[in-house]
Amino acid sequence: MDSVDLEVLRSATAWLKAGHAVILATVVRTWGSAPRPLGAMLAIRDDGQVSGSVSGGCVEDDLIERVHKHKLAGDIPEVATYGVTKEQAERFRLPCGGTLQLVLEPVKDSAGLDELLGAIERHELVARFLDLDTGKSRLEPGRWSDALEFDGKVLKTVHGPRWRLLVIGAAQLSRYLAQMAQALDYHVTVCDPREEYAEAWDLAGVPLERGYPDDVVLAMNLDAHSAVVAVTHDPKLDDVALLEALKSPAFYVGALGSKANNDKRRKRLADFDLSAAEIARLHGPVGLKIGSRTPPEIAVAILAEMTAVRRGVQVPQTVEPPKAGVEAGCGVPQREPVLPDRLRPLPLGRAKPGRR
C-alpha cells in the first residue's frame, strides 16, 4: 500500500487511543480525472485535524466543515459523492469535471486498526472487509491479484506491500536495494544459494531463499506487480533467474553489469527458449544513468528506473559526464573549462561542437 495511507492508519490509531472520535474516508470510485487513486485514505479527527488526502484540498475542507457541524457519519458508514454537478465540480475543484465517491467510516475502536497495522508491519498482504450496514470489519489474508472492490454494501480494501521485488544475490548492494525498496512499500525477497553470502544475511523483514534462482522465480509465481533484479555478476546464478523472469508477467527485470557484459548476456539468453521480445524486456545495464558508483547510488538508480516503469514514464537515456582527468603532480580531478561558443576554437573540417 501507499506509505501515505499507512501513515493515515497510524494517525487514526493514535487519535483513537488518545480518546478522539475518528472518521476514515476511503476513495472507492472515480469518474473522469481524479487527484488521488482508488483506495486513497484520509483520517479526520473530531476537532477537524486530518491525516492523508483524498483530493486537492477542497473536499477535505468540506469534510472538516461537516465534522465541526456534526453532520458526518455518526454511527454507521455512509457514502459521499463529490463533483456530480458542474457546480460541485467547480466548487471542489475536481479536474476535468471528475467525480469522487468516498466511504466515510466512523472507527469504533483501535483494536481492528492495531491488528491491521500489525499485519502490514510484518509485510503481510491483507484484505479488509467493511460492512456498511453494520459498520463491522474483518481481515482476511490477501492475494497479489486482489484490488479494491465496492458493491454499495461491502467495501474491500487491500493493505500491505502490493509490489514484490526478488533480488538475486545477497551481497552489499542487495542490502541497500532491499532497505530502499522496503521504504517504497515493496515486499522484498533475496535469493542466494551461496553459503558464504547466506550466512551473513541478517536484514530484518527480508527473507533469504537458499534455493537455486530459477526454482525460486518459478515458486514465487511472479505477476505484473513483481520485479526481479539480478546482481551477483555470476551467469550461473543471474542468467538462470532471468531465463524464467523474462517469460513471466513481471513488470521489471534487470541485471547488473556493463553494457558489454549485458550484450553478451543477451546472446547467451538467445540460445534458450526466449523470444526476441522477451529478451528485449531486460533492463541491462540495470538502473537509470545518473553516474552512480557506490552501492547506495546504484540502488537509487535501480529503484528510480523501476518507479518510472511502474508509472509508465518513458525515461530518455542520459549522457554521463566526461571522465575527469588528473593533472600531473596533482590528485585533484581537472575538467576542461567550458567556453562560450563564440570563444571556442573550431578545428578545421569539423562542425562546431555542441555542449555535452
Residue with cell 561542437: 353
Average pLDDT over residues 83-96: 56
Q: Give the strand pairing for 22-31 and 99-107.
A: antiparallel
pLDDT of residue 327: 39
Instruction: Please tell me the predicted confidence (pLDDT) of residue 84.
Output: 59
Percent of the chain with pLDDT over 70: 81
Residue 109: what pLDDT? 81
Which of 202-216, 226-240, 307-321 is predicted least confidently?
A: 307-321
Q: In what order do the strands lie in the sheet with 99-107?
A: 50-52, 41-45, 22-31, 99-107, 78-82
Q: 319: which 3 cell numbers?
A: 549522457
CA dist 174 and 198 (Å) reads 12
Identify which of 213, 186, 184 has the alpha carbon closest to the alpha carbon of residue 197.
213
**Rounded Cα–Cα distance for residues 283 and 248 (Å):** 15
pLDDT in tens, 19-51: 999 999 999 998 766 667 889 999 999 999 999
Whether the predicted pLDDT of 321 surpasses 80: no
Tell me what percent of the residues of the chain surpass a pLDDT of 90: 56
Topology of the domain comprising 163-310: Rossmann fold (3.40.50)
Strands (E), 120-257: 126-131, 137-141, 149-150, 154-159, 163-168, 186-191, 208-209, 226-230, 252-255
Q: Please tell me the least confidently modeled range out of 73-82, 135-144, 275-284, 314-323.
A: 314-323
Least confident span in 102-106, 131-135, 183-187, 293-297 = 183-187
Per-residue pLDDT at 339: 38
| Contact between 186 and 161 (Cβ < 8 Å) | yes
Whether the model pTM is above 0.85: no
Tell me the pLDDT band of 127, cut-offs 50, 70 and 90: very high
How far, in Å, CA of 143 to CA of 153, rounded?
Answer: 22
The three cell numbers of residue 222 are 511472479
Helix, coil or strand: residue 89: helix
Mean of per-residue pLDDT scores for the chain: 84
What local confidence, expressed as pLDDT, does residue 148 receive? 92
Write down the pLDDT at residue 227: 97
Helix (H) or strand (E) holding 51: strand 50-52
Q: Give me Rg for the CA atoms of the chain.
A: 26
32's torsion region: left (phi>0), alpha (psi -120 to 50) or beta? left
**Does the pLDDT at position 112 exceed 80?**
yes
pLDDT of residue 322: 61
**What whole-number distance in Å separates Cα of residue 165 and Cα of residue 163?**
7
- Max mean pLDDT among 93-97, 106-110, 317-321 falls in 106-110
Instruction: Note the pLDDT of residue 108.
Output: 83
Instruction: Count Cβ atoms within 10 A of the Cβ of residue 88 and give its class: 0-12 exposed, 13-18 middle, 19 or more buried.
Output: middle
Q: 269, 239 in Cβ contact below 8 A? A: yes
Which range of 28-32, 107-111, 216-220 scores highest in mean pLDDT? It is 216-220
- Cα(353)–Cα(140) distance, rounded to whole angstroms? 63
Domain map of the chain by residue range?
A: 3-159, 163-310
d(CA 239, CA 234): 8
Local confidence band at 351 (pLDDT 50, 70, 90 cut-offs): very low
Question: ∠ CA(320), CA(321), CA(326), 5° rounding?
Answer: 140
DSSP H helices, 235-319, are 235-245, 259-269, 276-280, 295-310
Whether 168 has a pLDDT exceeding 90, the answer reads yes
Q: Are 266 and 279 in contact, with CB atoms under 8 Å apart?
A: yes
Name the pairing type of β-strands 126-131 and 149-150: unpaired
Residues 59-83, mean pLDDT to the nearest whole number: 85
Contact of 9 with 113, CB cutoff 8 Å:
yes
pLDDT category at 90 given cuts 50, 70, 90 is: low
- Taking CA atoms, 55 is separated from 27, 58, 147, 152, in Å, by 9, 7, 20, 21
- End-to-end Cα spacing for the chain: 41
Q: What CA–CA distance (Å, rounded) separates 242 from 213?
A: 9
Ranges 55-64, 88-97, 192-201, 246-255, most confident? 246-255
Q: Are 265 and 274 in contact (CB under 8 A)?
A: no
Write down the pLDDT at residue 93. 53
> Using one digit for the tens of pLDDT, what is the confidence trace for 128-162?
999 999 999 999 998 877 889 999 999 999 987 66
Q: What is the pLDDT of residue 336?
A: 40
CA distance 292 to 233: 17
38 and 27 Cβ atoms separated by less than 8 Å = yes
- 277 pLDDT higher than 50: yes
Instruction: Work out the burial of residue 314: count CB atoms within 10 Å of its CB; fewer than 13 is exposed, 13-18 middle, 19 or more buried.
Output: exposed
